[in-house]
């Protein structure tokens, strides 16, 4: 039995949270035993316990922008040292063989792996554009303390390789997968028309994503305003919440929506747990991340549901959406071009439906959950085998 300690940056249910949950739930229970320690309580904790997976909560600090000041740095460093030691003690008592750290914002695994002389697999889901010093700092740590670094897209791999720190060993790409039986074209969304007061004959564009500085809600709203002026039957849906401490971003978005002349046709619902129905509701799924998005899980989920996708042409979405086949990619940070690309699909129902079919097909061929789990299992086995050889 291989005992694996999973460390993660939160307990919500966004992209990196979901893919970690899907992985742990599907690991061979006769071969691997997962011990998950999260920094906060939340829906991910509930989901793990519901799946009969051992999970504990320990308030170790996560590297966020709120720490990027002299007082914050001291606070973060103190917490990092304290909880790294506690996690090392925890790992020792549980006879952990391997640390799987999920996201670059979680640094405690470095201490645990070094202290106990066990390998660390580090999954990276971020492209850190700014601040530059944080990109360099995290890249250097990841290169030094990970036994194997795995990214979820070629875009993230290229970003890490550009730091110049990954000479000792290659960065490997393992594409995330999603549950195609959960996200499927047959899902029900009928209840949302009544709940959100949307006419049955309306056309709907929507996005699901964290409300932060770069997911693109502002650009989506600008594009939607252009389109809702042209199409009187068009409704726009926003779903997603901000990080704790950044609720002001949600207020800014709400104000921008309130200032729209088409606010009566805009639905803004914060965090939801019924994403299956929301994808089904949308005629076109949109994700206009203004910075390169590493490998947005929401795009895979929309594809699995049989929806065409429109986004900006940078980052991992370029590996998910074959431009002109299962969606359209617009010039980055250009809401007008984004609106044009969405409008192509709104005005051509045959093209829209065919691209939706192509999305589902592409998902099943390239981003299956089975391949995702098997690829990670192979890496666990290889790390343990190498560790045994070193000990021997």
Residue ranges of domains in the chain, CATH in brackets: 2-177+368-391 (3.40.50.2000), 190-366 (3.40.50.2000)
- Residue 38 pLDDT grade (very low, low, confident, very high; cuts 50, 70, 90): very high
E strands, 10-79, in order? 32-38, 54-57
**pLDDT attached to residue 240:** 96
Read off the pLDDT band of 392 (50, 70, 90): low
Residue 372 has pLDDT above 90, yes or no: yes
* φ/ψ (deg, to 5) at 370: -65, -45
Please give the pLDDT value at position 131.
84
Mean pLDDT over residues 209-234, rounded? Answer: 97
User: Is residue 217 scored above 70 in pLDDT?
Assistant: yes
Whose tokens are 């729209």? That residue is 260
DSSP alpha helix (H) spans, 181-216? 190-195
What average pLDDT does this structure show over 350-354?
Answer: 98
Contact (Cβ atoms closer than 8 angstroms) between residue 266 and residue 238: yes
- Do the beta carbons of residue 108 and residue 60 sit within 8 Å? yes
Contact 311, 317 (CB under 8 A): yes
R_g (Cα) of the chain, nearest Å? 21
Q: What is the pLDDT of residue 102?
A: 96
Could you read off the pLDDT of 238-283 as tens digits, one per residue?
999 998 889 999 999 999 999 999 999 999 999 999 999 999 999 9
Buried-state track 262-275, b at ≥16 Cβ within 10 A, e below 16: beebbbbbebeebb
Query: Percent of the chain beyond pLDDT 70?
Result: 99
The predicted pLDDT at position 69 comes to 85
Widest Cα–Cα separation across the chain? 71
Q: Which has the higher per-residue pLDDT, 99 or 15?
A: 99
| 133-173 pLDDT tens trace | 889 999 999 999 999 999 999 999 999 999 999 986 779 99
Residue whose C-alpha is closest to residue 122's, from 167, 158, 152, 93: 152
Q: What does the mean pLDDT of the chain come to?
A: 96
Q: What is the pLDDT of residue 244?
A: 85
| Band of pLDDT at residue 387, cut at 50, 70 and 90 | confident
- Round to whole Å and give the CA distance between 25 and 76: 31
Looking at residue 169, its pLDDT comes to 72
CB-based contact 375:174 (threshold 8 Å): yes
């Amino acid at each position: 039995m291989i005992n694996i300690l999973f460390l993660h940056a939160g307990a919500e249910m966004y992209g990196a949270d979901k893919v970690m949950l899907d992985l742990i739930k599907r690991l061979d229970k006769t071969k691997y035993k997962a011990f998950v320690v999260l920094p906060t309580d939340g829906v991910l904790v509930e989901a793990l316990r519901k799946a009969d997976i051992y999970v504990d909560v320990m308030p170790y600090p996560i590297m966020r922008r709120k720490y990027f000041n002299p007082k914050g740095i001291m606070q973060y460093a103190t917490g990092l040292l304290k909880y790294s030691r506690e996690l090392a003690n925890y790992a020792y008592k549980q006879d952990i063989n391997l640390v799987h750290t999920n996201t670059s914002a979680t640094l405690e695994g470095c201490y645990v792996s070094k202290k106990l002389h066990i390998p660390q697999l580090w999954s990276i889901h971020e492209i850190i554009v700014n601040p530059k010093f944080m990109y360099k700092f995290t890249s250097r740590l990841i290169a030094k303390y990970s036994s194997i670094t795995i990214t979820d897209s070629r875009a993230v791999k290229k970003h890490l390789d550009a730091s110049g720190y990954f000479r000792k060993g290659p960065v490997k790409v393992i594409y995330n997968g999603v549950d195609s039986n959960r996200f499927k074209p047959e899902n029900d969304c009928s209840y949302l028309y009544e709940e959100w007061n949307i006419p049955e004959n309306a056309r709907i564009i929507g996005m699901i994503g964290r409300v932060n500085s770069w997911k693109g809600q502002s650009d989506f709203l600008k594009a939607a305003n252009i389109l809702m002026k042209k199409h009187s039957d068009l409704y726009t849906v926003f779903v997603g919440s901000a990080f704790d401490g950044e609720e002001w971003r949600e207020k800014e978005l709400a104000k921008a929506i309130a200032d729209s002349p088409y606010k009566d046709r805009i639905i803004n619902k914060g965090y939801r747990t019924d994403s299956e129905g929301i994808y089904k509701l949308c005629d076109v799924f949109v994700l206009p991340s203004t910075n390169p998005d590493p490998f947005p899980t929401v795009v895979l989920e929309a594809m699995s549901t049989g929806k065409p996708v429109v986004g900006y042409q940078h980052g991992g979405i370029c590996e998910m959406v074959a431009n002109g086949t299962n969606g359209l990619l617009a010039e980055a940070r250009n809401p007008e071009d984004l609106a044009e690309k969405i409008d192509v699909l709104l005005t051509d129902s045959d093209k829209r439906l065919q691209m939706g079919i192509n999305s589902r097909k592409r998902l099943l061929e390239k981003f299956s959950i089975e391949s995702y789990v098997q690829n990670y299992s192979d890496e666990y086995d290889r790390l343990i085998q190498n560790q045994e050889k070193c000990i021997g």
